[in-house]
Structure 1
Amino acid sequence: MKTDYDYIIVGAGSSGCVLANRLSADPAVSVCLIEAGSHDNSLRIQTPAGTITLYKSRKYSWNFFSAPQKNLNGRSLHTPRGKALGGSSSMNSMIYIRGHASDYDRWAQAGCAGWDWNSVLPYFKKSENNRLGQDPRLHGTTGELNVEAARDPNPVSKLFVKAAQRIGIRTNDDFNGEQLEGCGIYNLTQKDAKRLSSYRAFVAPVLDRPNLTVITDCSVQSLILEERVAKGVRVVSDGQAMALSARHEVILSAGSLGSPSLLLASGIGPEQELKNAGIKVEHDLPGVGKNLQDHLDGLITIRSKSPLTLGFSLGSLPSIVLSPLRYLFGKKGWLTTNYVEAGGFARTPLADALPDVQFHFVPGYRSHRGRLFEWGHGYAVHTCVLRPKSIGELRLDRDGKPVIDFNFLSDPQDAKVLVEGLKLARRILADQQFDGIRGKEMLPGAEVQTDEQLMAYVREYAATVFHPVGTCKMGVDAMSVVGADLTVHGIQGLRVVDASIMPTLISGNTNAPCIMIGEKAADMILRAHAFTPGSERAREQAGQLAAPSAPESQLS
């Protein structure tokens, strides 16, 4: 195996795959992309409906569990992350959401120059291949990432959108257009009725590049540091320990749990915590692992006898039996579903001018017992706190394993917003649109009505939506880990490029923003090394995304 490269990228997830594509576009530059998981050549990954089988998979998921959450009755929350080429983009629900323009303006206002909405929009557009004819001021059509409409949404998902409209929540056909607020059917990252992960979009088409090496089933143990300069990584591959060296940079794209864990394992982090974990301190950087944020979610699930909904029953047996044929020959039917087909963004009475909750509607029964499958039919809506104030952390124990403490509901305002969001979701489900398929509310249950009862329900059942960010925060304050160029403070030749650099959580699903982060980081890296001998292609690419001369339209 070749052991020396110009760039080593740790993590083949949403950001890392974009980096691998853009950096290896220069044939004079050698790039190594390392993934701890295996290949993605499984029908469970490629078929959209297979996503439901991945979250607890031993092969394709890092089945982390959080530390006991003191404000959630001491429960440890299941925290899956993708463990395959594509990372979590190979197991997510394929929803394409960028967030609100103000999310990025807030980053810039906190000292992250160049990360305001007008500056990041060109990078969103660069990756996108919008197949919906949406506003060209805000969407791209020449990128690798297909954005398509759901191929065959369940009719019950459409009922949810109509019911939301009837209670005053506008219908929104483009959550990445002029307005985020509203409900609609989500647009998806799919191609030919298959999942389009970051790996499939950005790396699989360029695997024939001789200067791009992709290594799977390879565990990175630590960084190689010499006088606070990153020189490479120590890995275990095929049972053998070895060192890989990087002439230019090591780039961590292992996600909000993986990247800080690797920094800490390498002796970069809060000095006292490293000593407590028995790790030699290489560089005291207090913010590593801090600032953990995620969307907290509450579920309303309804039992229904209607076979219109997704589910297992004698009545649905014909559609289940025919679903493989419908998928193979018409690219329709159950196997095309991403389950959370509809949803949107709304304001509770506690909101200001911006939405403060997001809905994910499932046209099938979500088990009230936490099972993967339940016999019968129903529908459900997840409601999450869009801009949480609660902040947690990640640290390593004495065995080097991550301790993930979301610290959910440490700010009581989050609990109040979630309770109001659940009440709003109930209003939607109570609309007459659902009269024909109405059933029994299993969770929270008809007996749970007061704010106090709903608060107790949240503490007993709320969970994460799987959007962890922030543990290698970008910024200029004492707790920031990287600067606006994503280089690690105090260490040369090392960057972090993934969701962990987000100073604050964006308003929505995180896959599209992570791809944008990869695009912008690649441009910065190409500019930084534009005058390295042999990198004419890099100089060429570095000039392709100049900032727009006039402000683009913003999401309002």
Structure 2
Amino acid sequence: MTSTNSTEPGFAEAVRANQLHLSTSQNTRFDFIVCGAGSAGSVVAARLAENPEVRVLLLEAGGSDEVASVTDPAQWPLNLGSERDWGFMAEPNEHLGGRAIPMNMGKVLGGGSSINVMVWARGHRADWNHFAAEAGDDAWNYQSVLGIYRRIEDWHGPADPERRGRGGPVHVAPAADPKPAATLMLEAARSLGVPTFDSPNGAMMEGDGGAALNDLRIAGGKRLSIFRSYTYPRMAAPNLTVLTGALVSRLVFEGSRVTGVDVIVDGRLRSFTAEREVVLSLGAVNTPKVLMQSGIGPEQELRRHGIGVRQHLPGVGQNHQDHVSFGCIWEYAEPQEVGNGGSEATLYWKSDPALDAPDMLHCQVEFPVPSAENAALGVPAHGWTMFAGLAHPKSRGQLLLSGPGAGDAMIIRANTLADPDDMEAALASVRMCRELGNAAAFKGFVTRESMPGNLHAEDMRRYLRNGAVTYWHQSCTAKMGRDAMSVVNGSLEVYGVAGLRIADASIMPRITTGNTMAPCVVIGERAADAIKAKYGI
């Protein structure tokens, strides 16, 4: 993957010198422009730049990732609410008692992969087969995607040659030196009849689920963002320009073809031309925003803001999905160390064996994390949290414009718990969490269940409405498919618009089972493969 060893002495200085030269050269014409340096955009830009004849511009609204809160796994919570966070907020929601949930999203080189909990979760077999069915393209099915994962992974765990790869750009390893809260959780799962596995990313994601230590993107005690693994090793090359502090304002057209982008850099509007294609990898909020503000989206929504319609695509901003979770907290008998950023074990399970994929997504965190509303119930000074999550919520949200300009915030109507089935699923998920945390395995390690406790039915529903938080996995707002609400085809090309692709979580037809970083890398790889095939590069 690397054109030069990025760990060699002098490489960092070579990158700085090269990028300073490129960013001040006044060059405005490139073969490809990739908008957004997150988990998908970093992949697309790096893969296209593998060909030294291909000129690539990677635009990122955020700044440098060279800060302690990014590199140190333990400091990830410090990024929330910082300049490295877009600070999105969902609208107040009647289904959550009028609460407005923060929807943090990475605004930094690496995007979410620079501020997340570093969990590598591939998605379930059924997710990828659903993608393939929606796209009408077997290149998205589980067997095909398994080949991508084998190609890109550098797996440092028990051998599984059918499913895992070695030597790729993506270092993945089971949580090293797991703390007792993680290992006891696996013991508790076994006592409930839930099987445990060496990894959550092998056989466990081909059937009913199970419990396992997390696969993490940490090496030598440091975070490995997708940007650092893919893009940074190419930044000393003359054909890849990475521009930070660059807010994409709108797409530039010639007729029905996108030919470039307008970008706000240091308060000044600049225009860049893409001689072949523009790729939007801005995430499930900003990708539909740029589409709509450029005239691509639901005609009624565009006209409401005086935006001329270039392509009526009613699905832009619709089908919003996110993993929602509810914190269950136990008090430690003695203070415990936090390992690997605090999330070392996970459980996926089906509440109904007839489901095609697990609907429960339980994520363990080795410190107490209540919602602001439930914190009033009393938070232990030392404790651990099991987030009872919904892997496939039925509620659907939408994104709307508040105005036509780059500085106008998006309206996020997440509609969390709007579908009554999601409340029932949440009740089932929390019941299982409480069984886990109160299992004999934890006897002596915890002193008590701090919350929610054994509540009556309506009190439990109130607890869930007050406790619902996001897993930060917003997706599906420009979905891939073949129906009237689809925005991109199986090659991720935007319907009715030439020279434009989307590669990020917004193209998911449905949210994947588990954290979304790994699927976004696959989406980036698929986009790069399709572009290379089209242009013979």
TM-score when scaled to structure 2?
Answer: 0.90
Residue 409 of structure 2 is aligned with which of 386, 391, 401?
401
Task: Verify: 1:207 aligned to 2:235, yes or no.
Answer: yes
Q: Are 2:329 and 2:449, in contact at CA under 8 Å, matched by a contact in 1?
A: yes
Q: In the alignment, which of 145, 169, 189 is matched to residue 164 of structure 1?
A: 189
For 2:529, the aligned partner's letter is D
Partner secondary structure for residue 14 of structure 1: coil
Quote the residue 1:337 is aligned against. Answer: 340
- Name the residue aligned to 2:125: 101
- What is the CA distance between 1:394 and its match in structure 2? 0.8
CA shift, 1:202, in A, is 0.3
1:62 and 2:69 equivalent?
no
The aligned residue for residue 387 of structure 2 is 382
Alignment of 1:147-546 (within 5 A): 147-180=172-205, 181-307=209-335, 309-310=336-337, 334=338, 337-348=340-351, 352=355, 354-367=357-370, 369=372, 376-398=381-403, 400-446=408-454, 448-450=455-457, 452-530=458-536, 538=537
- The amino acid across from 1:61 in the alignment is D
8 A contact 1:301–1:368 mirrored in 2: no
Query: What's the Cα RMSD here?
Result: 1.7
2:169–2:230 CA contact under 8 A, matched in 1: yes
1:57-136 equivalences in 2 (<5 Å): 57=82, 59-113=83-137, 114-136=139-161
Distance 2:484 2:292 in 1: 17
Aligned partner letter, 2:520: C
**AA of the residue aligned to 1:54:** N
User: How much has 1:237 moved relative to structure 2?
Assistant: 1.0
Letter in 2 for 1:430: N
**In structure 2, what is the Cα distance between the partners aligned to 1:10 and 1:521?**
13
Structure 1 stretch 148-157 or stretch 486-495: which is displaced more?
Answer: 148-157
Corresponding residue SS for 1:92: coil
| Alpha-carbon distance in structure 1 between the residues aligned to 2:470 and 2:410 | 17
Identity of aligned residues (%): 37
Secondary structure of residue in 1 paired with 2:443 = helix
> Does structure 2 conserve the Cα–Cα contact (< 8 Å) formed by 1:366 and 1:378?
no
Alpha carbons 1:34, 1:218 under 8 Å: kept: yes
Per the TM alignment, residue 374 of structure 1 is displaced from its structure 2 partner at its CA by 7.3
> Within 1, Cα distance between the matches of 2:77 and 2:187?
26
2:60/2:243 contact within 8 Å kept: yes
Shift of 1:347: 2.3
Q: Is the 8 A contact 2:252 2:262 kept in 1?
A: yes
1:409 aligned partner, one-letter code: L
What displacement does 1:358 show? 1.1
- Note the C-alpha offset of 1:96: 0.9
Output the amino acid matched with 1:390.
Answer: S
Give the Cα separation in 2 of the matches to 1:352 and 1:111.
21
TM-score (structure 1 length as normaliser):
0.87
Shift of 1:148: 1.1
- What's the secondary structure of 2:211's corresponding residue? strand
Aligned residue for 1:153, secondary structure, equals coil
Alignment check: 8 A CA contact 1:368 1:443 kept: no
Preserved contact between residue 379 and residue 450 of structure 2 (Cα < 8 Å): no
**Amino acid of the structure 1 residue aligned with 2:121:** I
Out of 359-368 and 97-106, give the one that drifted further: 359-368
Q: Deviation per CA, 1:339-364: give whole Å up to 9, x if none.
A: 12111112225863642101111222
- Number of aligned residue pairs: 502
Distance 1:134 1:508 in 2: 22
Secondary structure of the equivalent of 2:525?
Answer: helix
Which residue is equivalent to 2:13? none
Structure 1 spans left out of the alignment, 5+ residues: 311-333, 531-537, 539-556
Q: Is the 8 A contact 1:5 1:245 kept in 2?
A: yes
Deviations 1:13-66 (A, max 9, x none): 000111111100111110000000001001110011011211222x11111100
Give distance in 1, aligned partners of 2:98 and 2:368. 27
Residue of structure 1 equivalent to 2:8: none
Kept in 2, the 8 Å contact 1:44–1:51? The answer is: yes
Instruction: Tell me if structure 2 keeps the 8 A contact 1:303–1:377.
Output: yes
Deviations 1:470-526 (A, max 9, x none): 011001110100011100000000000011000011111100000011111101100
Change (3 A) 1:40 1:119: same
